Structure 1
Amino acid sequence: MVMSNSLAGAGLGAEGDERSVAERVRKLADRLVRPTAPARDRERRWDPELFRELAEAGLAGALIPPELGGAGLTARETFALLEGLGEGARDPGLALAVTVHAVLTAVPLRAFGTAAQRERYLPGMADGSRLGALSLRQTQHTGLAPTVTARPAPVDGDGWVLTGELDLVAVAPEAHHFLVVAGHDGRGGRTAFFVDRETPGLQITDAGPAAMATCPWGRLVLHGCPVPETAVLGTVGGAADEVEPLLAGLDWVFTSAPWLGVMRALTRDAVGEARERLLFGRPVAHDQSARFTLADLAARCELAAGLLYRAAERFDGAGGPAPRDAAAARLFTASAARAVTEEAARLSGPFALTGDHLIERAHRDALFFAETGGGSGVLRPVVAASLLGVG
């Protein structure tokens, strides 16, 4: 491990705080990731060496216990880590891939996996040699009909047979394991599985959105895939009460973390543009409306940070955050990301001084971010149901 890059030297745990984590990762990402972000985005290219360097720094195993090779950070520290990655890297696609691997697949395995499952998978996930993936369609916890079904293996066999398709699978082309939630025909309920890439009948094809171009995307097709009983994650038929609520909360909060960093980067750029860009011979910063816009950018960042950090911190408690808190934080952040991007674009004009086209990339990706996690059509009902005491 390269100790100058490692989180081991960041003074974490009892002696550290989230701002030191965010700043250390911001500097690391600024040096390692940012220089190639525009080119990788244009080419829709995944860089395995870049991910390896981030894994060596501890990002891949942030929430994995030290005894299994991880950094053993708290949820709040991990949120700060992802915020710093978003701000320094200025690469929402790569940040999403890291979050899917390090949080959305690793945490359910840590929470509901057996000791054997944790020992088998988590060390490789912690060092980045084995990547985890899942479909962002399966993080909404909305009761939608599953697109994958599970049926018991033939009487002379063991385990389950999975059939169906999943799209919008982040990290799919590079992944070694997949978290799959499947329904049961005729018996109700849903079960979560941790499925190996080498499983017979499993097919991965390249397919994904135009947004988040530096995240590898794919479609997962399961042609009667046999999986052993040891692939079950949690209780058979219990995913709706176990894995799915956890996935929804993790998605709503932790995939928002890099966007808080991106918003901070855009705000910082906007301040620089306002100071340097001239309008009718005077710096834009002398214009009162420009100053109001800068104030709005800063306010949106701080309001989002307050909501998100509060929700993230509650993952360290016994019950995790209330669905209302996680959903409200995501709802506000998605709206703020779009507003900050648009207002920063107005301040910067057609020729942004940074030259890395972050505004254009962020505008495209923020639209996608706003629709994932179920979008406002899922998030607002969650908040409203909690207020009304009916959910």
Structure 2
Amino acid sequence: MHSPVGAGADGVEPMLAERARELAARVARPTAAGRDRDRRWDPALFAELADARTGPGLAGPLVPRALGGGGLSATQTCALLEGLGEGARDPGLALAVGVHAVLATVPLRAFGSPRQRERYLPRMAAGDWMGAVSLRQTQGAAHAPALTARPAPAAAGGWQLSGELDLVACGPVAHHFLVIAAHEDGGRTAFVLDRDTPGLLITEDGPAAMATCPWGRLVLDACPAADHAVLGTVGGAATEVEPLLAALDWVFSSAPWLGVIRALTRDAVDDARERRLFGRPLAHGQSARFTLADLGTRYELASGLLLRAAGQFDAGGRPSHQDAAAARLFVARALRAVTEGAASLSGPLAPAGDHLVERAHRDALFFAGTGGGTEVLRPVIAASLLGLG
């Protein structure tokens, strides 16, 4: 097995965050509100974000340089995603980028065969092939397997996969899918399936939130999976891919939200300076100042927890589930509080504005429920404290 992420941090995180912020502000922010309203995925926009020649190369930051990627560390990648979230002001786009660039690539890097790594990772890092993952399958044992794997007829070899998965992020535009299926004996195996595999059907279907992420439902009907499609070891997903996916989701899907929190806080500061209440700037009031102080404090605390968890990837392993779950839980709660605080200072929204606070409030509710939600995250933290996991 290969190390799941890149080398340790070397102090370039602020520069990477700024590069991603500037690129996203230039190419994504102007159309964010319209794409959200139309529920539209823009492949040309993704290609521009992915292009390492003109930007930070957001499609494969954790892919080794020898395979065409950025070869960055986990903390550097979090900085990139935070910059994307702040600059684009588009949580759905940021989620799609993170699912492809992290959740779909890192398991291939960590558990893929040389054949799989060389086939998929260079094209994924270039943005030519998109990978897709169901957010149902980032919850490990907390989510009952929706797919089954049975041995294929002896003449065919390999496996036959059947079942359905919803919440497949990047599904409608994906070249391939990372899926986990259960065997009759209770074991689970991870597979990488190309879109053109017989018996595989992907349709557009998703939540009302994160409207700029392309969502799909994946249906597998006796779908053949050759032995070379297995990711990791047969029956080993519960100790290989699943724990890694959970940690990746809890950490890296949270990173863009740090950028959104920064953007909301900046908007709140501007509103407090510009709005007037009883003839005085709102910023002169103690209540507004307390609210702004709370917004800034929540960002600092959320950022610290998240970077601590990311740094454990860079130390050669992966975060403890306690640290990764605590970071995810705190970011979700901080986001909810910051969104409400920013809304209290914004006043009436202009019809032609970008309405980040409205989109963030809607999408924050969805974010808080993914990754298992509090019913998974809090027991994970408690079990670690009790020495049970």
- Same fold at TM > 0.5: yes
Partner of 1:107: 106
How far off is 1:19 after superposition?
A: 1.2
Provide closer, same or farther for how the CA distance between residues 353 and 163 of structure 1 changes in structure 2, counting only shifts above 3 A: closer
Q: Distance in 2 between matches of 1:133 and 1:158?
A: 25
TM alignment of 1:160-171, pairs within 5 A:
160-171=159-170
Is 2:40 the counterpart of 1:45? yes
Q: Out of 18, 29, 34, which is 1:34 matched to?
A: 29
Q: Distance in 2 between matches of 1:209 and 1:143?
A: 20
Q: Distance in 1 between matches of 2:352 and 2:314?
A: 38
Q: Out of 260, 264, 267, which is 1:266 matched to?
A: 264
How far off is 1:72 after superposition?
A: 0.7
Q: Out of 187, 192, 195, which is 2:193 matched to?
A: 195
Partner of 1:172: 171
Is 2:240 the counterpart of 1:245? no
Question: For 1:261-317, what per-residue CA distance to the aligned partner results, in whole angstroms no more than 9, with x for missing partners?
Answer: 000000001001101111111100000000000000000000000000110111112
Question: For 1:317-376, what per-residue CA distance to the aligned partner results, in whole angstroms no more than 9, with x for missing partners?
Answer: 222110000000000100111110011000111136992100000000000000000000
Partner of 2:223: 225
Q: Out of 357, 376, 379, which is 2:377 matched to?
A: 379
Identity %: 72
Partner of 1:4: none
Question: For 1:153-206, what per-residue CA distance to the aligned partner results, in whole angstroms no more than 9, with x for missing partners?
Answer: 111121110000000000000000100000002x22100000100000000111
Q: Distance in 2 between matches of 1:192 and 1:15?
A: 33
TM alignment of 1:53-202, pairs within 5 A:
53-56=48-51, 57=55, 58-185=57-184, 187-202=185-200
Q: Out of 212, 215, 218, which is 1:214 matched to?
A: 212
Partner of 1:234: 232
The DSSP-based 3-state class of the residue aligned with 2:349 is coil
The DSSP-based 3-state class of the residue aligned with 1:301 is helix
Provide closer, same or farther for how the CA distance between residues 84 and 337 of structure 1 changes in structure 2, counting only shifts above 3 A: same
Q: Distance in 2 between matches of 1:293 and 1:338?
A: 13
Q: Which amino acid aligns with 2:42?
A: D
Q: Out of 324, 332, 335, which is 2:333 matched to?
A: 335
Q: Is the 8 A contact 1:192 1:234 kept in 2?
A: yes
The DSSP-based 3-state class of the residue aligned with 2:161 is strand
Provide closer, same or farther for how the CA distance between residues 343 and 188 of structure 1 changes in structure 2, counting only shifts above 3 A: same
Q: Is the 8 A contact 2:8 2:315 kept in 1?
A: no
Q: Distance in 2 between matches of 1:82 and 1:390?
A: 33
Q: Is the 8 A contact 1:141 1:245 kept in 2?
A: yes
How far off is 1:24 after superposition?
A: 1.4
Aligned length: 379
How far off is 1:144 after superposition?
A: 3.0
Q: Which amino acid aligns with 2:261?
A: M
Q: Distance in 2 between matches of 1:120 and 1:55?
A: 18
Partner of 2:3: none
Partner of 2:15: 20
The DSSP-based 3-state class of the residue aligned with 2:70 is coil
Q: Distance in 1 between matches of 2:9 and 2:289?
A: 39
Provide closer, same or farther for how the CA distance between residues 353 and 299 of structure 1 changes in structure 2, counting only shifts above 3 A: farther
How far off is 1:23 after superposition?
A: 1.2
Partner of 1:302: 300
The DSSP-based 3-state class of the residue aligned with 2:104 is helix
Q: Which amino acid aligns with 1:213?
A: A
Q: Distance in 2 between matches of 1:282 and 1:354?
A: 26
Question: For 1:199-244, what per-residue CA distance to the aligned partner results, in whole angstroms no more than 9, with x for missing partners?
Answer: 0000011110000000000000001000110000001000000000
Deviates more, 1:314-323 or 1:219-228: 314-323
TM alignment of 1:318-329, pairs within 5 A:
318-329=316-327
Q: Which runs of 5+ in 1 are unaligned?
A: 1-11
* Cα-Cα RMSD: 1.4
Q: Distance in 2 between matches of 1:145 and 1:338?
A: 28
Q: Is the 8 A contact 1:269 1:354 kept in 2?
A: no
Provide closer, same or farther for how the CA distance between residues 296 and 351 of structure 1 changes in structure 2, counting only shifts above 3 A: same
TM-score in terms of structure 2 length: 0.95
The DSSP-based 3-state class of the residue aligned with 2:160 is strand
Q: Is the 8 A contact 1:21 1:81 kept in 2?
A: yes
Q: Which amino acid aligns with 2:88?
A: A
Q: Distance in 2 between matches of 1:292 and 1:142?
A: 42
Q: Is the 8 A contact 2:332 2:364 kept in 1?
A: yes
Q: Distance in 2 between matches of 1:143 and 1:40?
A: 33
How far off is 1:13 after superposition?
A: 8.4
Q: Distance in 1 between matches of 2:167 and 2:351?
A: 34
How far off is 1:15 after superposition?
A: 6.3
Partner of 1:290: 288
Q: Is the 8 A contact 1:273 1:353 kept in 2?
A: no
Q: Is the 8 A contact 2:133 2:178 kept in 1?
A: yes
Deviates more, 1:346-355 or 1:189-198: 346-355
How far off is 1:142 after superposition?
A: 2.9
Partner of 1:257: 255
TM-score in terms of structure 1 length: 0.95
